[in-house]
């Protein structure tokens, strides 16, 4: 009896860890989220019971308490359970809540981290979230609710990445502008990143809301000067040009 909280990676099914894939292939029960690639679920041990615990704004399946109950019940029945979550299980996915519920029920578990969309989705749009001379910090926020104290203390420098906020982009833009950032600050919204359906929309704080009306989750927003470099290193679609940004950078320091 054991539960593995496994990160499935950001979308492309090949972006899972070796350990994560091995566990999927050998588990007795696979409990997965909505964002997990069907190609990974197809890898499950043919004898495994597969439970779709996917939850989302439209397709509400199970409340979190019910998922916790299923995990505990399955483990107590003696099964090896893989709880497969999009990206990294401990990033905005209630993985911590599940871990606490397992501890309370005295169920042994392990966490198998995954590649989070935080870095991977911008990377597939050609955007490094930090870049020498442009941003040496990055703040990641959940756009699920804009009531939290973090939204009152947005950084005026560096990169801002927002998960789950695409439907509230107008309010997010307002908050960022209120900190004094220029309306010309570049912004990218990336829909279904790392998958064949990846769609990248670039603009500025002034026009991104207008440009992204048709975008649907999952989508991630990245705000800051780093977005401009993607004009040169958009490797996923093959648009690369080292001169786009390279010449404007300070000389490399060997330190
Ligand atoms: N644990 C996950 C995040 C869960 S919250 C992780 O580490 O990546 C879900 C949010 O992640 C989505 O609303 C979206 O903002 C972002 N996201 C996940 N996969 C994505 C993808 N393929 N493309 C764009 N955004 C994605």
Mean pLDDT of the chain: 92
Q: Could you list the active site residues?
A: 33, 55, 164
Q: 244 in a domain, yes or no? A: no
3-state secondary structure of 188: strand
Confidence of residue 242 (pLDDT cuts 50, 70, 90): confident
Residue 189 sits in which domain range? 118-233
d(CA 76, CA 93) in angstroms, rounded, equals 23
Q: What percent of the chain has pLDDT over 70?
A: 93
d(CA 54, CA 237) in angstroms, rounded, equals 30
What is the Å distance from ligand 1's center to 192 Cα? 8
Confidence of residue 247 (pLDDT cuts 50, 70, 90): very low
Dihedral Cα 52, 217, 91, 188, nearest 10 deg? 160
- pLDDT value at residue 56: 47
- The tens digit of pLDDT for each residue in 105-157 reads 999 999 999 999 999 999 999 999 999 999 999 999 999 999 999 999 999 99
What is the Å distance from ligand 1's center to 71 Cα? 23
131 and 226 in a common domain:
yes
- Domain count within the chain: 2
Domain final residue pick, 87, 115, 143: 115
62 and 124 in a common domain:
no
Give the closest residue (by CA) to ligand 1 atom 9: 164
What is the Å distance from ligand 1's center to 191 Cα? 9
Q: 250 in a domain, yes or no? A: no
Q: Given its phi and psi angles, is residue 157 left (phi above 0), alpha (psi -120 to 50 degrees) or beta?
A: beta
CATH number for position 8: 3.40.1010.10
Closest atom, ligand 1, to C-alpha of 193: 23
pLDDT, average across residues 169-195: 97
Ligand 1 binding pocket mutation candidate from 83, 141, 218 (most atoms within 8 A of CB): 218
What size, in residues, is the chain? Answer: 255
- Give yes or no for residue 10 CB within 6 A of ligand 1: yes
- The tens digit of pLDDT for each residue in 161-178 reads 999 989 999 999 999 999
110 and 212 in a common domain:
no
3-state secondary structure of 40: helix
Ligand 1 binding pocket mutation candidate from 11, 14, 16, 35 (most atoms within 8 A of CB): 35
- The tens digit of pLDDT for each residue in 51-83 reads 999 754 455 668 889 999 999 999 999 999 999
What is the Å distance from ligand 1's center to 10 Cα? 7
pTM metric for this prediction: 0.92
Domain final residue pick, 94, 115, 136: 115
Calculate the alpha carbon distances from 135 to 49, 105, 250 in Å: 46, 44, 13
Q: 246 in a domain, yes or no? A: no
- Give yes or no for residue 169 CB within 6 A of ligand 1: no
- The tens digit of pLDDT for each residue in 20-32 reads 999 999 999 999 9
145 and 166 in a common domain:
yes
């Amino acid at each position: 009896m054991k539960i593995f909280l496994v990160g499935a990676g950001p979308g492309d099914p090949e972006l899972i860890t070796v350990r994560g894939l091995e566990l999927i292939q050998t588990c007795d029960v696979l409990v997965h989220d909505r964002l997990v690639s069907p190609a990974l679920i197809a890898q499950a041990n043919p004898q495994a019971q597969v439970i779709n615990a996917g939850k989302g704004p439209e397709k509400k399946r199970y409340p979190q308490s019910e998922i916790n109950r299923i995990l505990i019940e399955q483990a107590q029945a003696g099964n090896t359970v893989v709880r497969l979550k999009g990206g990294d299980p401990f990033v905005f996915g209630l993985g911590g809540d599940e871990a606490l519920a397992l501890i309370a029920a005295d169920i042994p578990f392990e966490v198998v981290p995954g590649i989070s969309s935080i870095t991977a989705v911008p990377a597939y749009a050609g955007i490094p979230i930090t870049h020498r001379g442009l941003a040496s910090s990055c703040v990641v926020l959940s756009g699920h609710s804009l009531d939290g104290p973090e939204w009152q203390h947005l950084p005026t420098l560096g990169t801002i990445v927002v998960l789950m906020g695409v439907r509230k982009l107008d309010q997010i833009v307002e908050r960022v502008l209120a900190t004094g950032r220029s309306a010309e600050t570049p912004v990218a919204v990336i829909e279904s990143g790392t998958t064949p359906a990846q769609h990248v929309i670039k603009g500025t704080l002034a026009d991104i809301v207008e440009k992204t009306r048709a975008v649907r989750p999952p989508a991630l927003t990245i705000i800051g000067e780093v977005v401009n470099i993607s004009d040169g290193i958009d490797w996923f679609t093959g648009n690369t040009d080292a001169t786009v940004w390279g010449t404007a950078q300070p000389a490399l320091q060997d330190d």
